Structure formats: C-alpha cells, structure tokens
A and B are shown apart, each in its own frame.
Chain A
Amino acid sequence: MHQFASYFSQKEIERVHEASLEVLENTGMYVRNERAREIFAKGGCQVDNQTTLVKFPRKVIEECRKSFVPKYKFTAQDPDFDITLPDDRPIIVTGSSAPNIIDPKTGEERRATSTDIANIAHLINELPGFDVFSISTLADDAPEGQFSLSRFYPSLKNCKKPVRSNTPNIRDLEMVLELGELIAGSKEAYMERPFINHHYCPVVSPLTFDVESTEAIIYLTEKGLPVYGTIVPNAGMTSPMTMMGTLVVGNAEFLALSTLIQLIRPGAPMIYAVLSTVADMRTGAYVPGAIETGILQMAHTEMARFYNIPSGGYIGLTNSHCNDAQSGYETGMNTMLALMGGADLFNMGGLLGSLMAFDFGKAYTDNEIAMMLKRACRGMEFSEENLCLDLIHEIGPGGSYMDKLHTVKHMRKTMYLSKLAYRLLRDQWIRDGATDTQTRALEKAIEILKQENPARFPEELDAKIRSHFPGLVPGDAIF
C-alpha cells in the first residue's frame, strides 16, 4: 500500500494538532500521580499540586515531539517472532484481560482460569494470523499475591510470540519482570531481549492521569523497558459528542502522555494507541463495535502519521455475545477502515461482549480476519512480470489458464486460502453437516488444542521457575 485512505487535508490535520495544544495549554489535565507532576514541573509545565492540575505550554510539547521515534518493537522469547512497527504491518494482537471465557466444551460463559490462559496461549502460538499474544483473560484461580504471575506464567510457558499485558501495581510488575529474568537466564540477558511487552491505560478521559498505571509507565520508561499506553475517550460520556471533539480530546491526551514519556527518556519508542468510541446514548452502552470506532481510528492514524510514530491498538472489538454475523461485521469493517487508514496495530482477537469474554471460535475466526487483513495489505504487487503480457498473448482469446504451469506456480500465494470459509455448493454443504462459521471455527481451534504444544518450556527451566515462585498455578495447556 503506497497511499492510505484519509479524511483530512494537511491543513485540517495541523488544525487538530493546534486545537490539541490549545486544550493542553488552556484547560490542562489533572495529574493524580505525584511523580508525574514532578516530571512535568521539571519539564517546564505549570503544576498546581493542590488541585493536581497541570498546564502544558506548547513549547514543552513541541520540544518533546522532536524526540519521537518512528518505530516500535515487540520482542519475543523466540527471536523469529520479533515484530517491528510499522515495517511488519499489519500486526495482529489478541484482545486482553476479559474476566470470562465461553467454555469450549459446555458453551457456558464462566470465569476464566490460568489453565484457560495456557490453552489460549497454545492456540495463539499456532495461529499464523496473530503476531502478539496479549493475555486474553484474567485468572480466577490465581493464588493470593500471584494475580499477575498467574496470567504471565501460563502465557510465557505456552507461547513463544511476544507476550503483552498489564499489571495492577508495581509489586505485581516486579514479580512479572523477575519471571522474565528467570526465563532469560539473567537480568542482563533479559534487558537485552525484554520479551514481556507492557501496556497500560494511564489516562482516564477526560484529561486525567491516574495514579497506578501512570506509575507503571514511569517505572518502565525509566528502566528502558518497552511500554506504551492506550487512551480511551468515549464520545457523549468522557468526550464531546462530535467526532472532531473526541479526536481532539484523544489526541491531546496522547500528546500529554507522550510528553511524560519523552521527558523521562527522550527517544523512548511509543505507539499512538487511541481507542476513541462513541457511546450509544439510547442506553449509555460502551460500543467499541460501532462503525464510528473505525472512523475515529482512521482519523487518529492520520494524526499518528503527522507525528511520524506507529499507530493502532484496540480496533475490531465487538459488542456481540456470540460469534455471529454482528461479531464478524463489527470486527471486519472496523479493522478494514483502520487498515485502509494506515494503522499498524490491531488488538482484536478472540473477545466477545465488548471485552467481557474470550471465545475460542471467535479467536479462530479473528485469525481468518487477520490473514485477510494481511492479504489486503500485501495488495496488488505491481511488477512488469505480474502483468503477464506474454502469457495473455500465448493463451489468446477464448483460451484457458487452468492447466498452465504459470497458474500452478502462483495459485498458492496469489490467494489467501481460507481454512474456515465454506465455498462449495449448497448440496455439498448439507452433506458436510450444514455447519455455520462458529461451529467450524470452534472445531478447528479444538483440533489445535488437542495437539501437543511444541512451544512449551523445557522441564529444567520450568522446575527452576516453580521453585522460585512457590504455589504457582500449573500453567499447562490441557484440553
């Protein structure tokens, strides 16, 4: 793709940037985290410690913009799975931290456990559409004091792709880093290849930095470890009920967060991850599956391009409670808008009910959507050779391409060969069991889950980890 779809002229983009600066300079933000206020004050912002209000002079933000870098890397345990934005776009990630799972055996929604996480990690490791495993659920069986460990251990044990998620506090974060160092063999080895990729939501819209997530961002940025934040304004509730007003709030909040990060460590890689949505005012419902989410993502991506940093994040979520047509069109249309707009990162896989529950069939279907997005991104592959002028002349009018070596040579790569879509005639479909997408997707996922997981930790390493963290959940993929 050489050009991206766009809603704005250059002048309009500059106006949105200016408007965001105005908001930060005149309105400012509440910064509940004390250390963040210190950093902002030192960086030249006006800080009122009484009210926690911070106002950002434009020159502070513009100065920080100079140290933005255009790339962001997700490191994996296995270097073959390392991924860089935007070079490897589109990068597909699972949706994360749902409390529930649709049990693949009973079909009932229930609390997710660490064993579920191990199974999901195994599946994601095998599905080629997914590039990063963001830990899909919480672990209801976590022993006291091991809330985060019970999520990261089963994930890292069963998936060699980059693992991404968050922690609720610094204590949990330090435990997770300790786990990373054990796996890497030493602190130094881990720092060289930090394969736990951290993500937080430090801003509570409108215009407020929280305490805990902001603390984690500061902690990780100071250490030089990979971290980025997602900004989540919700039009009508936490931002204005116009697309433009919400774009400005989200963009301003992103600029404030990036100012914090660049003041701590100039040149720290970042992702422009803003998940703006519009609330459904008929009920007040949170609706990430609405088409406006994709439109806003495209607009935010245009801003990211203006700042020359990778963009994307949570896009392609659905409100549907089962893997049905709504689930498909919400994920499909929103991710396609974002892709056409130039987004690099898509946190979309496996979740239903606006981030409430993981479903194996949905994850398999999203792998299909991921493969289609990657195919769409590959595009037309213009070349003189691909014009096939000699071949067109050779076959001539009225001929057939079906029995030509040229066709054989290209047929496996020109098309994305779906393993999920049903493409035969109705009679055959009925003979094959007249299945719908979810039935087939779940079967395919279960097929994978029943196989041995090749990515699992070696026994020796596992024993070392288990003796280091007594009482740890088993963390094995068992189906």
Chain B
Amino acid sequence: MSIKDIYAAVLEFDSDQVVKLVKDEISRGTEISVILNDGLIGAMDEVGRLFSAGDLFVPEMLLAAQAMKAGLEELKPHMKQGDSRTKGTVVIGTVKGDLHDIGKNLVAMMMEGAGFEVIDLGVDVETERFIQTAQEHNADMICMSALLTTTMPEMGVTVETLKEKGLNFKTMVGGAPVTKEFADQIGADGYSPDAPSAVEMARLLISA
C-alpha cells in the first residue's frame, strides 16, 4: 500500500513525506527497485503526462522533481547495480554559443525523474565535449538544446562529426526555434517540443 503513498506524495510535492515513506519502506524490507520504479519514477511519469496534457504547470513539475529527488537520495545508499539506471545514460547541454538553459534543465530533470542517468554539461558545450563525455560514460544518447537561431547549426555540426567518426550515439535536439523539419534536415535521431516528450523520445530511441 505504501508504494502508492510514495507515488501520491510525489504528486503532492511533499518532499518530507516522500523521504519519510521511502525510509519506512526500506526498513520494511521492500525491494529497492520497486520503491524506485513503482513509487518515484512512476509518479514522475504521471507528472510528465499531466504536464503534457496542460494540467500541471512548470512550477508543479519543479516541485514534483524536488520531491522525487529527495526520495532518491534516501534510496541511493541502498541501491545495488541493476536496481536502477537501467533506462540508459544521457549526455545533455546547450550548444556552443547558447547560454539559455531553462528548457534544457527541465529536460534533464524530467529524464532523471524517469530513471535515466543524466550527465548535464551545462551551457555553451562544444561538439568535442559532447562526444568525449559520451565516450567516457559509455552513454546511449547526446541531447542538444538551443534557443538562438544562430546557434542551432551547432547541432548539425555534432551530428555530422559523430557520423564522420563512425560513432553511433543517438542524438536528440530541442529548444524554442528547433523544429522536426530542422531535426530531420541535420539528421538527428530525435526531436521533442517539450520536456515530457523528450523523455518519451529518449525511451523510444534507447530501447530501439
């Protein structure tokens, strides 16, 4: 029953309650992966669904993610390999010359919430750094964000460089001026118009 309560507490943005309930479940001997997947990640999936439907707004997504993270911190010391992080590893950042990171941060947060390992390189990330980091962490995917029309072409540079080097990290692009057509044109594997659909797209691409 209590897993449902964790799920509910995340949806109520109640960090204290999430922490308390996660501790209870751990001491009760509930499997860590169940707490994580059915409780925390399940709740964030619902948050994503509600956000896409327009029922939840950005501040609610932020608060839910904070509550989820608080629970995750409690779980971490108890996690063994295989309990989590099975969804995949993602390298994310805004492209070279672009300092606008609100959208990128939302995507990173939602992906973490959905159980991905997220390596956030922050802003103004050069192609080389994207690729190097992806190689170091054996990542599944590189996600690039841009707000400025002038920095968008950098996305194409990264995709092109990956092809030249014969590396097959998946790529996903997004940001206010980025469109599906643009993504297709530069040969990116995925495009998403908002944070929750970025999570969906990541699942699709990585499981493919």
> Which residues of A does B touch, CB under 8 Å?
100, 109, 111, 236, 281-284
Contacts and interface: CB of A to CB of B under 8 A. Distances in A.
Contacts of A282: 54, 57-58
Contact of A281 (B59, B102, B149, B194): B59
B150 interface: yes
Given A236-B59, A281-B59, A111 B150 contact: yes
Nearest to A236: B59
Nearest to B59: A281
A448 B203 CA distance: 55
A282 B58 CA distance: 6
Given A281-B59, A282-B54, 12 more contacts: A100-B149, A109-B149, A111-B150, A236-B59, A281-B57, A281-B58, A282-B57, A282-B58, A283-B58, A283-B194, A284-B58, A284-B102
A57 B57 CA distance: 39
B13 to A, nearest CB: 14
B96 to A, nearest CB: 17
What 3 A-B pairs come out closest when comparing CB atoms?
A281-B57, A284-B58, A282-B57
Contacts of A111: 150
A283 B58 CA distance: 6
A100 B102 CA distance: 22
Nearest to B60: A281
B107 to A, nearest CB: 13
8 contacts: A100-B149, A109-B149, A111-B150, A281-B57, A281-B59, A282-B54, A282-B57, A282-B58
Among B54, B102, B149, B194, residue most surrounded by chain A Cβ atoms (within 10 Å): B149
B175 to A, nearest CB: 13
Contacts of B57: 281-282
A427 B57 CA distance: 47
A88 B168 CA distance: 65
Nearest to A279: B58
Among B54, B57, B102, residue most surrounded by chain A Cβ atoms (within 10 Å): B57
Interface string B48-77: 000000100111000000000000000000
Interface in B80-136: 102
B102 to A, nearest CB: 6
B58 to A, nearest CB: 5
B57 to A, nearest CB: 4
Contacts of B58: 281-284
Contacts of B194: 283
Nearest to A281: B57
A284 B59 CA distance: 9
A218 B58 CA distance: 38
A286 B87 CA distance: 34
Contacts of B150: 111
Nearest to A282: B57
Among A100, A109, A281, A283, residue most surrounded by chain B Cβ atoms (within 10 Å): A283
Nearest to B51: A282
A111 B149 CA distance: 9
A10 B149 CA distance: 48
Contacts of B54: 282
A281 B102 CA distance: 13
B110 to A, nearest CB: 14
A111 B57 CA distance: 33
A281 B60 CA distance: 9
A281 B106 CA distance: 13
Nearest to A284: B58
A284 B149 CA distance: 19
Interface in B14-50: none
A109 B150 CA distance: 12
A154 to B, nearest CB: 21
Nearest to A111: B150
A236 B58 CA distance: 10
Contacts of B59: 236, 281
A111 B194 CA distance: 26
A23 B198 CA distance: 41
Interface in B148-175: 149-150
A236 B102 CA distance: 14
Nearest to B148: A99
A284 B54 CA distance: 13
Nearest to B57: A281
A450 to B, nearest CB: 29
A281 B58 CA distance: 6
A100 B57 CA distance: 30
A284 B194 CA distance: 12
Contacts of A281: 57-59
A223 B181 CA distance: 53
Nearest to B62: A284
A282 to B, nearest CB: 5
A113 to B, nearest CB: 14
A111 B152 CA distance: 14
Contacts of B102: 284
A223 to B, nearest CB: 32
Contacts of A283: 58, 194
A282 B55 CA distance: 9
Contacts of A236: 59
A283 B149 CA distance: 20
B151 to A, nearest CB: 12
A457 B150 CA distance: 34
Contacts of A109: 149
Contacts of B149: 100, 109
A100 B177 CA distance: 13
A284 B150 CA distance: 22
Interface in B166-208: 194
A269 B1 CA distance: 67
A111 B54 CA distance: 33
Nearest to B102: A284
A226 B149 CA distance: 35
A282 B60 CA distance: 10
Nearest to B194: A283
A285 to B, nearest CB: 9
